[in-house]
Amino acid sequence: MTRHRIELPPLPPTPPEDPVRLVHDWLADAMEHSGQRHPNAFSLATADSDGRPSARMVLLKDLSLAHGYAVFHTNYRSRKGAELDSRADAAAVLHWDRLGRQIRLEGPAVRCPAGESDAYFATRPWQSRLNAWVSDQSQSLRDPAELAERARQKAQEFDLPDPAGSASPGKSAESGLRRPHFWGGYRLWFRAVEFWSEGTDRFHDRVRYERTLTPADHYSFTAGPWRWQRLQP
Ligand SMILES: Cc1cc2nc3c(=O)[nH]c(=O)nc-3n(C[C@H](O)[C@H](O)[C@H](O)COP(=O)(O)O)c2cc1C
């Protein structure tokens, strides 16, 4: 296993006007070169109504180049879901050690339109879809065996085979496995994006972009122009 740094282009002296394309390009570089199992994983920080922060990893599943938001999926009743219900502001970090790169994202995370969550849910393997029904994510669990039993019962409700067995359901049985209303996507809208590129002797390069976001509807914001500045390392 090689542990050396992979040299990729640094930030340009004059960064691009729109940072979202650069987020896309750094993600593409990470997919190809990072050697990480989940190069699209990011730490997502939320805060409760008293302002106490919490962070956990989630997967970036889509990036809107047109609007500047990232999509992740989760249980809406989980701790992060409850915290986002009370306060939509979130912050995220992507880090690729071998590439010497970090991206920070800040902004409101709002639920995706139901149709979009349905469409993504339908692409998941049937066992993952079943388990989305079974897990009350972030609630206490007395015995892990309870989950397997609940999965077996839920499979029966949906006329699906025992998930512990090797039988696969027919197409029509599978299609009955709809998305639970308590599970779906979030759009993390970028109010700020900051790139960090590892330099020598602590002279790292940082470029921070900011823009204003004004709520347009439940899912969207009207965005002002991006402004950028270099920051000291
Ligand atoms: C690499 C990685 C990726 C993960 N991706 C997701 C994800 O996309 N969605 C999710 O709900 N949990 C994901 N998890 C689990 C979360 O980190 C977390 O344990 C779970 O969502 C419960 O968090 P909460 O109690 O703060 O809501 C992932 C964990 C790891 C380590």
Q: Residue 73: CB within 6 Å of ligand 1? A: yes
Q: Residue 78: CB within 6 Å of ligand 1? A: yes
What percentage of the chain reaches a pLDDT higher than 90?
A: 90
**166 found inside a domain:** yes
Whether 185 has a pLDDT exceeding 70, the answer reads yes
Q: 172-194: b or e for each residue (b if 16 or more CB lie within 10 Å)?
A: eebeebebbeebbbbbbbbbebb
Same domain membership, residue 155 and residue 134: yes
**9 found inside a domain:** no
Q: Is residue 204 within 8 Å of residue 191, measured between CB atoms?
A: no
Span from the CA of 58 to the centroid of ligand 1 (angstroms): 5
Tell me how far apart the alpha carbons of residues 64 and 69 are, in angstroms, rounded to a whole number: 5
Whether 31 has a pLDDT exceeding 70, the answer reads yes
Same domain membership, residue 30 and residue 92: yes
Q: Residue 80: CB within 6 Å of ligand 1? A: yes
Q: What is the pLDDT of residue 45?
A: 98
Same domain membership, residue 195 and residue 114: yes
Same domain membership, residue 103 and residue 34: yes
Mean pLDDT of the chain: 95
> What are the DSSP calls for 74-129, one per residue?
EETTSHHHHHHHH--EEEEEEEEGGGTEEEEEEEEEEEPPHHHHHHHHHTS-HHHH
Q: What is the pLDDT of residue 2?
A: 56
Range of the domain at 219: 19-119+183-231
Backbone angles phi, psi at 56, to 5 degrees: -160, 165
CA nearest ligand 1 atom 12, residue: 58
Same domain membership, residue 148 and residue 99: no
How confident is the model over 47-83, as pLDDT tens digits? 999 999 999 999 999 999 999 999 999 999 999 999 9
Same domain membership, residue 62 and residue 152: no
Q: Residue 74: CB within 6 Å of ligand 1? A: yes
Whether 217 has a pLDDT exceeding 90, the answer reads yes
CA nearest ligand 1 atom 29, residue: 57
Q: What is the pLDDT of residue 4?
A: 87
Whether 3 has a pLDDT exceeding 80, the answer reads no
**83 found inside a domain:** yes
CATH number of 90's domain: 2.30.110.10
Same domain membership, residue 197 and residue 108: yes
**204 found inside a domain:** yes
Q: Is residue 203 within 8 Å of residue 233, measured between CB atoms?
A: yes
CA nearest ligand 1 atom 14, residue: 58
**89 found inside a domain:** yes
Q: What is the pLDDT of residue 111?
A: 98
Q: What is the pLDDT of residue 1?
A: 57
Q: Residue 135: CB within 6 Å of ligand 1? A: no
Q: Which ligand 1 atom sits nearest the alpha carbon of residue 82? A: 27
Q: What is the mean pLDDT of residues 211-229?
A: 97
**13 found inside a domain:** no
Same domain membership, residue 135 and residue 43: no
Whether 115 has a pLDDT exceeding 60, the answer reads yes
Same domain membership, residue 137 and residue 191: no
User: pLDDT tier at 172 (50, 70, 90 boundaries)?
Assistant: confident
Q: What is the pLDDT of residue 169?
A: 83
Same domain membership, residue 213 and residue 101: yes
Span from the CA of 36 to the centroid of ligand 1 (angstroms): 17
Span from the CA of 66 to the centroid of ligand 1 (angstroms): 26
Into how many domains does the chain fold?
2
Span from the CA of 220 to the centroid of ligand 1 (angstroms): 24
How confident is the model over 9-28, as pLDDT tens digits? 999 999 999 999 999 999 99
**3 found inside a domain:** no
**73 found inside a domain:** yes
Same domain membership, residue 101 and residue 32: yes
